[in-house]
Amino acid sequence: MHTALLITGVVVGIYTILWHTILKGPRCKSTTKLHGKTVIVTGGNTGIGKTAALDLARRGARVILACRDQQRAEAAVRDLRRESGNNEVVYMHLDLASLRSVRSFAETFLQTEPRLDLLINNAGIFMSGKTEDGFGMIFGVNHLGHFLLTLLLLERLKESGPSRVINVTSKAHYFGTIDFNCLSTHNELGVGTSGFEVFKLYSHSKLCNVLFTYELAKRLQGTNVTCYSLHPGAVKTEIGRHISGFWKIVIQPIHSLFFMDPEAGAQTTLYCALQEGIEHLSGRYFSHCAVQEMCAKAKDDAVARKLWEVSERLSGLV
């Protein structure tokens, strides 16, 4: 009995230390107010995106939730208006799995909104399948849709500057590669539908996010727009809701005990969006509310440039 109590006490103690040192994570301490500013948050109806949107709304921003599911997005708008006391939270339809939808969203936004101060490319997906345009779902949503959206809104960002683009990526990018041959033959950066293969596809897409940010920063030099990519941490969100039952059984206990809640997970997004004095770090990668060293493949000039050129062609920009 005493041994069991001792073991329980040790486990609880270790978990408490982990919670306060790792799982809780650092906080964004910026006191910046955003009255008169406009923000887009893709996937802002749930998880990290919704939490970040709430914080930005509380700071006085006009917050546009760019989401696919109208019913869930409108419910999120009601929640955010109630919790923030800010009625300038609105929904605009955006399906990143459809380049047509991306163009429609951008056209509507540019016609109805006079400024854009923050573009937070937060939405992400972890599932196999194909987009409306025939691209791999993970590549199409996590990278190509956000790439097109950003470029279509870039002039408005410049006009409204100083402004920022925030790309939510993942530490999984360390495991990613960019296989241009596979992309040209399969419209995806890899093949396969098993749990491990889907994780690899996800990792490839997250490397795309980091490389896109890296290249975008170079192309924005001399403007008043800066950009940042970030790892939010291991967060309890709905991104894995489409994974198989077996993997849910395996992952759920780890997910419940050791992943951050969305509030903790949103802090680095908020840091990159709000922190003063990081403009000289445009194009860099952040985690735990701090800039991180980038691995060699995340700052490969030739690959970043080629990915940009291929993405322009695939999204119909050239």
Catalytically annotated residues: 202
Q: In sequence order, what are the residues at sequence separation of 6 or more whose Cβ sits closer than 8 angstroms to the Cβ of residue 177?
A: 189, 204, 207, 297
Q: By C-alpha distance, which of 292, 293, 288, 284 is closest to 271? A: 288
d(CA 136, CA 191) in angstroms, rounded, equals 9
d(CA 318, CA 308) in angstroms, rounded, equals 11
- Residue 224 class from Cβ within 10 Å (0-12 exposed, 13-18 middle, 19+ buried)? middle
278 — alpha (psi -120 to 50), left (phi > 0) or beta? Answer: alpha
Q: By C-alpha distance, which of 125, 135, 138 is closest to 187? A: 135
Strand order in the sheet with 118-121: 89-93, 62-67, 38-42, 118-121, 163-168, 225-231, 285-287, 290-292
